[in-house]
Amino acid sequence: MIVGSGETQPYAAPAADLGLTEGAVKGAVCRLRERHRECLKEEIDHTVVSPAEVDEELRHLFRVLDRQ
């Protein structure tokens, strides 16, 4: 699911499974989210007339996904 429920999951279990600290997992998740955001904006940029429209298109996408 792209749009989450807003619930957070503890990082302790995945950290233990991966042999990492919770802080390392949190940092990796943060970097992953940032990279995903960048990639999504790049893709949306290919579909709009001007770069100024990217953020509005992204907001519209999330509104549509939130309804499902």
Contact between residue 10 and residue 29 where contact means Cβ atoms under 8 Å apart: no
The 10s digit of each residue's pLDDT in 9-64 is: 789 999 999 999 999 999 999 999 999 999 999 999 999 999 999 999 999 998 99
Contact between residue 54 and residue 41 where contact means Cβ atoms under 8 Å apart: yes
Domain that holds residue 25: 13-66
66 pLDDT band, cuts 50/70/90, is: confident
Q: CA 12, 22, 10: angle at the middle one, nearest 5?
A: 40
Whether residue 52 lies inside any domain: the answer is yes
Whether residue 7 lies inside any domain: the answer is no
What is d(CA 22, CA 19) in angstroms, rounded to the nearest whole number? 10
Whether residue 6 lies inside any domain: the answer is no
What is d(CA 65, CA 28) in angstroms, rounded to the nearest whole number? 25
CB neighbour list of residue 48: distance below 8 Å, 6 or more residues apart: 54, 57
Whether residue 5 lies inside any domain: the answer is no
Total domains in the chain come to: 1
Q: What was the pLDDT predicted at 1?
A: 46
